[in-house]
Amino acid sequence: MSKLIIFLVTIFFMISCSQNLKQETLITVKGKIPVEEMGISLIHEHILVDFIGADSTGYHRWEKSKVIERALPFLMEAKRKGVNTFFECTPAYLGRDPLLLKELSEKTGINIVTNTGYYGVRDNKYIPKHAFDETSEDIAKVWIEEFNNGIEGSGVFPGFIKIAVERKDTLSPMHVKIVKAAAITHKATGLTIVSHTGTDGPAFTQLEILKIEGVSPEAFVWTHAQDGTFEGYMKAAKQGAWISLDNFNKNNFDKPGGIDWFVELLTKLKKENMLHKILISHDAGWYDPGQENGGNYRSYNDIFEYLIPTLKKHGFSQEDIDLLLIKNPQRAYAVNIKKMK
Ligand SMILES: [Zn+2]
């Protein structure tokens, strides 16, 4: 009998050890968590965005306590809707504030995820000066350093790479450099590449660069894909890329991002068995230090109050909803090096 118990205990330990080895993690502002703990996740939102430009922004531009006072009720409301993980997509030089996010995570109990990377849109206004003369390798070194040692001595680590490119089929040399830097960083860290992209052209241009660099499309999130085409989504998703429809807003009605548009598109994607590559979010928030009292702050509620009930009326199961809001974010953002096979 005792031999049998020892045998069973040994088997149990072997199984649990092998599961630990395989356990996939997400890096939040408070540290690593197993992806199974993510729960309902909003993958593209903002708490703070400062549009003044890389040459003038900095922590002097806002008072943390004021931003917290403004953002906290919106985050608590999201928590009451069931949100457990929140991806803050503001990159460095555009208002990223790791300690602010950590404090908000501690106050709300929500897992918040921040990022490393540079934002190239608007004529490189948000690219730091040093990056203009540097190579992709130099830029990647800065991002990998943040992954290894934390952001600016804050003890907060990035959980994904956030970049942005212009909506052009041919990318500028600066933007090619940024995409290559993201590829190098991904291969060194396993962080997912989230790229503000929009239309089909730059999405496929970036996927080609990543492939040349040996990075699988599985590591790429086509951000703001709502401005792309259905054919583009199917083609990119079949390659493995993630399609991020991240502008749900009840006030858009039948326009892209509105309820009719979303329901029609998601129904079409469900029919094509493609829901497993789709991510949804609001791209809402945020405190803007350039505006009085941070300006208009849009809530993170519309998906829960409008989209989900409507999808259910249109034949979506709880399993479909969980795929969009729980399972897909786990698979898209688990830290994992995804190389071309
Ligand atoms: Zn955004």
pLDDT tens digits for range 292-325: 999 999 999 999 999 999 999 999 999 999 999 9
**Could you give the maximum distance between any two Cα atoms of the chain, in Å?**
74
CA of 46 to the centre of ligand 1 (A): 6
The pLDDT score that the predictor gives to residue 84 is 98
CA of 15 to the centre of ligand 1 (A): 41
CA of 43 to the centre of ligand 1 (A): 10
Q: Which CATH architecture has domain 25-333?
A: Alpha-Beta Barrel (3.20)
Where the chain has pLDDT below 70, the residues are 1-22
The pLDDT score that the predictor gives to residue 22 is 67
CA of 14 to the centre of ligand 1 (A): 43
| 202-to-22, 132, 178, 195 alpha-carbon distances in Å | 34, 21, 13, 10
The pLDDT score that the predictor gives to residue 52 is 97
pLDDT, the chain, mean:
95
CA of 45 to the centre of ligand 1 (A): 6
CA of 256 to the centre of ligand 1 (A): 15
Q: Are 285 and 46 in contact (CB under 8 A)?
A: yes
CA of 176 to the centre of ligand 1 (A): 21
The pLDDT score that the predictor gives to residue 10 is 60
For tokens 């085409």, the residue is 229
The pLDDT score that the predictor gives to residue 237 is 98
Q: What is the DSSP letter of 214?
A: T
CA of 25 to the centre of ligand 1 (A): 23
The pLDDT score that the predictor gives to residue 5 is 61
The pLDDT score that the predictor gives to residue 255 is 83
CA-only gyration radius of the chain, Å: 20
The pLDDT score that the predictor gives to residue 17 is 47
CA of 109 to the centre of ligand 1 (A): 22
Phi-psi region of 295 (alpha: psi -120 to 50; beta: other; left: phi over 0): left
CA of 42 to the centre of ligand 1 (A): 12
The pLDDT score that the predictor gives to residue 16 is 53
CA of 284 to the centre of ligand 1 (A): 7
The pLDDT score that the predictor gives to residue 4 is 61
CA of 1 to the centre of ligand 1 (A): 61
- Pick from 282, 283, 192: which is nearest to 241 by CA? 192
CA of 288 to the centre of ligand 1 (A): 13
CA of 268 to the centre of ligand 1 (A): 25
Strand order in the sheet with 242-245: 115-116, 160-164, 193-196, 220-223, 242-245, 278-280
Strand pairing class (115-116; 160-164)? parallel
CA of 89 to the centre of ligand 1 (A): 6
CA of 90 to the centre of ligand 1 (A): 7
C-alpha atoms less than 13 angstroms from C-alpha of 128 in its C-beta half-sphere:
16
The pLDDT score that the predictor gives to residue 75 is 98
Question: Within 10 A of 67 (CB to CB), how many other CB atoms are there?
Answer: 22
Torsion of CA 103, 105, 109, 115, to 10 degrees: -160
Looking at the DSSP assignment, which residues form a beta bridge with residue 318? Answer: none
